[in-house]
Amino acid sequence: MVRIRSTKSRLRSRHAILGLLAVVMVVILVAAACGEDATPTPLPATAVPAPTAVPAAPAPTAAPAPTTGLRPIEEWTADNPATIEEVEAQLEKHRGESFVFVSWGGAYQASQRQAFLVPFSEKFGIEIIEDGPPDYAKVRAMALTGNVTWDVVDGSGQAGVTLGLDGALEELDLRIVDKSDLFPHIRDALWIGGGGSAFSHLFMYSLDTYPDGGPQPKTMADLFDVEKFPGRRGIHGNDWAWKHRVRFALLIDDPSLLDTEAGRASLSAMSPEELDKAWQIVEEVVLPATDLLYSGGSDCPAFLQSGELDICETDNGIAFAAVTDGLNAHICWECGHDVLTDNWWIPLGIKEQNPVKFELLNLFFAWTQQPEIAASQALYQPYGSTNLKSAPFLADPKFDEHRPFLPASAANLPFAILMDEAADGAIGGDQAEIWFSVQGKK
């Protein structure tokens, strides 16, 4: 397991390798596209009501005797981690315990509840108390003060890497959490794993403004061409949005990057030279064409519905919900979309303060990231698994409704940019500052 370092010189030297890695990821996902695999953050912004608890199974019972042939936890190693049978046997010893799970509310957290939380709680008799939304500053404060009140936190892959590098998260127990089949950037980051979600950040536009049969945007350059496609445009102004600004800026400059695997892979990790070029395009093209900066995950479809915007960006789950609810809009997959992930973390302090709970949380991560279990979230929202072995399960007809809206579906994958969130996490703080500085010049 390689620890991620935050030096910029390392990013320069790894850039070519990361591009190749993105090509490999595309090949893997294309092979699975008949199923389909990958794809959540900027997640639904609906606030979570007062914390609720997933009902636990009946009262705790004595742990069953160890199953013959299963190793005790003392014999598990990072090179030979626990099997799913061993994980489940160890979970039986935690019946009657509880932990807090923090996520983003709305349809997203509801899909996690249905896919992960309720099945886990019912199977193992463990209470899961839901809270949210996540607050990265609060996670840092918990790590600093030792007053840890959250146990599992859902957040972006980039943020997980950044917080891990800053020493705010626990390193996972790799004897328990086998990450060998997860997306490469998740495998390499010692702090992130679990069920997770893969999703896309993209643009949609009003079909009232740009109706079928008439001129419609087809590329990222079209989306920001105010002369060819007049209309009001909106984009996310959040700190995390820098990673989309720079990649989409290079697509504005050269839409043909989407035409080849090599072109898409070149946007996986950003070199310093590419970042400099991208920020210039953001200043000269993107911001002059932008009428509104917003922060809410569901702002885009709301503004399209009200007529305040004609073109805007969101994530594919929110876009799917809006269109299926009747919004007269087109999801512009063909314009290009960034594939990224949400993963789960454990705030620093739990391992020392409560080793038993730390073991339970790692077992929860290991169970939920199993291929079939991880795939199940796509039954409830079009977010894919971060486990590359989930694809065969997504081929089941029960996923037919959501499969066309998954970023790695056969129709959408040719326009996908598979982001290297480990590289993003190492430079995220500096780039967010640049993004805010550029906004200030508008």
pTM, two decimals, is 0.78
What secondary structure, in 3-state letters, does 171-186 show?
CCCCCCCCCCCECHHH
Q: What's the pLDDT at 127?
A: 98
Q: What's the pLDDT at 9?
A: 36
List phi, psi (to 5°) of 194.
80, -170
How many angstroms separate the CA atoms of 6 and 422, rounded? 9
| 8-state DSSP, 384 | B
Q: Which CATH superfamily is domain 8-199+341-409 in?
A: Periplasmic binding protein-like II (3.40.190.10)
Q: What's the pLDDT at 342?
A: 93
- Tell which residue, 301, 337, 223, 418, has the closest CA to residue 44: 301
Q: Where are the domains of the chain?
A: 8-199+341-409, 200-339+417-440
Residue ranges of the chain with per-residue pLDDT less than 50: 1-62, 65-67
- Domains 8-199+341-409 and 200-339+417-440 equal at CATH topology level: yes
Q: What's the pLDDT at 394?
A: 87
Q: Are 125 and 57 in contact (CB under 8 A)?
A: yes
- Tell which residue, 312, 305, 309, has the closest CA to residue 331: 312
| 8-state DSSP, 170 | P
418: left (phi over 0), alpha (psi -120 to 50) or beta: beta
Tell me the pairing of strands 292-294 and 416-418: unpaired
| Residues 151-165 as b or e (16 or more Cβ within 10 Å = b) | bbbbbbbbbbbbbbb
At the topology level, CATH places domain 200-339+417-440 in: D-Maltodextrin-Binding Protein; domain 2 (3.40.190)
Q: How many residues are there in the chain?
A: 442
Q: What's the pLDDT at 42?
A: 35
Q: What's the pLDDT at 68?
A: 56
Q: What's the pLDDT at 414?
A: 93
Per-residue DSSP letters for 48-67?
Answer: P-S-EEEPP-SSP-PPPPPP
